[in-house]
Chains A and B, each alone.
Chain A
Amino acid sequence: MSSPSIVINSPAAPPVIIEVKNVTRVFWDAREKSEKSVSALENVDLSVRKGEFVSLIGPSGCGKTTLLRLIAGLDAPQSGELLVEGEPVTGTSHERGYVFQQANLFPWETVEENIAFGLKARGVYEEYRGDVAEYIAMAGLKGFERSYPHQISGGMAQRASLARALINRPKALLLDEPMGALDSFTRMDLQEKLLELWQKFSATIILVTHDIDEAVYLSDRIVIMTPRPGRISEIIDADYPRPRSRSSARFVELRNKVLEKFHLAGAEAPVEYAI
């Protein structure tokens, strides 16, 4: 297996912003007192460049969410190193925005209060209060400022959640299957929105997904992960021009390439991943 983490430093390439070095994260089975453990991640290496859109894809249990949580600082590895702009990750930071699978808006706050949360929490609300209306508009939530989360649709909630993370102007945006719980129309709608925001903010995005089409459509690079133990098996460059079309030959070609990696393409039968 080739080492997928090595990035060739060509002079034109933007600097590496996130580095994952030989990271291992083990979970113990809490129910059993045995020594039984599950390697959510084993010796994982990954580098992400500034402004890159990277997708982590793989079947459930492959550790993609674990890896994202480690980068966010919501969890810590047993061994290995995580660096953001050369600094080790010691905890969460507003510079690494995180969007959850469920929008996770605070139900006791209005849409507007939710979006302004980061500014208020950091004590910079007075300085940036003008941003709030702008981000509400950007998320297409004008007229819903005073609504509570349960009063808006799933797609709207997820857009609000995205705006809530973006208002902090994070250097990296970590997305944990944010579109997983949405219907396909809402999902495609949000994918467009995401691309638009990515280009506007020239943000670095790491997206966890189990939707191959989504990964192929959105990403610069697709990181393929396999479970038990969680490992990166391959990284596929999806460097075809934007705007992209879901029916273009290149899209279909890449999609098949990813499917092949999971042994899901053609006549070959799906295999069990357990080793």
Chain B
Amino acid sequence: MNKSSYWKPRSNAWQVLAALSYPAALVVNIAMRPIIEVDERPYRVFLLALAAHTAVCYLRAFHDEKLALKYNHRSQFTFAAGALLMVWDVLSSKTGSLPLPFFPGPAQIMEVLFRERSAHALNCLYSLRLFAAGFAAGAFCGVVSGILIGWSKLWDYWLFPVMKVVGVIPAIALIPIVLIVMPGTFSTAVALVAISAWFPVAFTTARGIKSIHKSYFEAARTLGAQNGYMLRKIAIPGAVPSIFTGISTATGISFSTLVVSEMVGARGGLGYYINIAMGWMNYASVYAAILLMAVSFTLVLAVINAIKNRLLAWQKGLVK
């Protein structure tokens, strides 16, 4: 991130407020008694960790100019986050202003996360395994069929119309059919995730190849390249930016399909967990699972982004 992206004006007041927001939330949590039975220790540890992190940043910013800019820029947001946690805590566990059990407090969610940590870890892994298998298969098929459609007139003629119609069907609508075709619940879920990932990737890959400027192929031909070589060295590398556009879209759609397919027949995973927790009216667990989804999906996106940046190093400075 460069300096110019830190556009918030310099403010000592906000920096101090940011540094104090998590400690304040912690003090309020300790000072007020909860009206329900809840183990507040995990939440306090969580707040303490955030407070410690902010304090370290605040102190280091005195010596580190780059960190100072970053910290200053984020101080308003940090303050708001701390304030929000405090208000939420007070409105839920401390006073019961928010209706329970539908809107549990942060302490209750942290309690569930901590108490059921091994189950959560297992569910996360289960979901990630499903995602990895389904997404990899779908993206691979998408790239292959996209290349075929983009490169060969014959494949374009036969496959493109089919893809256009089949591709827009939400994978979830195919659950009844996939359930019959696939032997087990895991393979059903994998197939559904794969189908969701396939279409956007195939579509953008094909379009990417078709939109490569003719002059690159002409240059390659005059340099002695044959068709196969041009496919590998011009068409595919030239389509990589488009392929990643498709992969980004596919990731989001695959996440939805993943959760839904876990809700309808899986025996593990975050979607499955949400479903079970909802059945028990255990909303703290529902929020805990949602939180874990946000974290693990963000991590997945970060990994995909890192791969993309590596493959598209040649674009650095060319686009944005």
Are A and B bound to each other? yes
Tier of interface size on chain B: 20 to 34
Are B240 and A92 interface neighbours, CB within 8 A? Answer: no
Q: Which residue of A lies closest to B224 (CB)?
A: A94
Say yes or no: is B229 at the interface (Cβ < 8 Å to chain A): yes
- Taken residue by residue from 129 to 171, chain A's Cβ proximity to chain B (1 for < 8 Å, 0 otherwise) reads as 0000000000000000000101100000000000011001000
Say yes or no: is B238 at the interface (Cβ < 8 Å to chain A): yes
Are A118 and B317 interface neighbours, CB within 8 A? Answer: no
Give chain A interface residues in 62-97, CB to chain B under 8 Å: 72-74, 91-94, 96-97
Partner of A108, one of B215, B221, B238: B238
Are A109 and B218 interface neighbours, CB within 8 A? Answer: no
With known contacts A106-B216, A107-B314, A74–B222 Cβ distance under 8 A: yes
Are A165 and B318 interface neighbours, CB within 8 A? Answer: no
Contacts of A31 in B (CB 8 A): none
Are A104 and B223 interface neighbours, CB within 8 A? Answer: no
| A157–chain B nearest beta-carbon distance, Å | 12
Q: Which residue of A lies closest to B218 (CB)?
A: A74
Number of A-B contacts (CB under 8 A): 73
Contacts of B316 in A (CB 8 A): 148
Give chain B interface residues in 278-320, CB to chain A under 8 Å: 314-318
Say yes or no: is B226 at the interface (Cβ < 8 Å to chain A): yes
Q: How far is the CA of A108 from the CA of B315 in the complex (A)?
A: 7
With known contacts A106-B216, A108-B240, A121–B318 Cβ distance under 8 A: no
Contacts of B60 in A (CB 8 A): none
Contacts of A109 in B (CB 8 A): 233, 237, 314
Say yes or no: is B234 at the interface (Cβ < 8 Å to chain A): yes
Interface centre among A100, A117, A164, A165 (most CB of B within 10 A): A117
Q: How far is the CA of A108 from the CA of B226 in the complex (A)?
A: 19
Contacts of A72 in B (CB 8 A): 222
- Taken residue by residue from 208 to 237, chain B's Cβ proximity to chain A (1 for < 8 Å, 0 otherwise) reads as 000000011011111111100100011001
Are B229 and A104 interface neighbours, CB within 8 A? Answer: no
Contacts of B215 in A (CB 8 A): 100, 102, 104
Q: How far is the CA of A115 from the CA of B300 in the complex (A)?
A: 37
Partner of A97, one of B222, B225, B238: B222
Contacts of A148 in B (CB 8 A): 314, 316, 318
Interface centre among B215, B218, B229 (most CB of A within 10 A): B218
With known contacts A108-B237, A108-B238, A150-B318, A121–B220 Cβ distance under 8 A: yes
Contacts of A100 in B (CB 8 A): 215, 218-219
Are B233 and A117 interface neighbours, CB within 8 A? Answer: yes
Q: How far is the CA of A107 from the CA of B316 in the complex (A)?
A: 11
Are A121 and B314 interface neighbours, CB within 8 A? Answer: no
Say yes or no: is A217 at the interface (Cβ < 8 Å to chain B): no
Contacts of A73 in B (CB 8 A): 222
Partner of B223, one of A74, A108, A117, A151: A117
Say yes or no: is A53 at the interface (Cβ < 8 Å to chain B): no
Are B221 and A74 interface neighbours, CB within 8 A? Answer: yes
With known contacts A98-B218, A104-B216, A150–B317 Cβ distance under 8 A: yes
Say yes or no: is A36 at the interface (Cβ < 8 Å to chain B): no
Are A121 and B229 interface neighbours, CB within 8 A? Answer: yes
- Taken residue by residue from 9 to 25, chain B's Cβ proximity to chain A (1 for < 8 Å, 0 otherwise) reads as 00000000000000000
Having A118-B225, A148-B314, A168-B224, one finds 17 other A-B pairs with CB under 8 Å, namely: A93-B222, A94-B222, A94-B223, A94-B224, A97-B222, A97-B223, A100-B215, A106-B220, A106-B233, A106-B234, A107-B318, A117-B225, A117-B233, A120-B233, A148-B318, A150-B317, A164-B223
7 A-B residue pairs with Cβ-Cβ distance under 8 Å, sorted by A, are: A94-B224, A104-B215, A104-B216, A106-B216, A121-B225, A148-B316, A165-B223
Instruction: Tell me the A residues contacting B by CB distance below 8 Å.
Output: 72-74, 91-94, 96-98, 100, 102, 104, 106-110, 117-118, 120-122, 148, 150-151, 164-165, 168
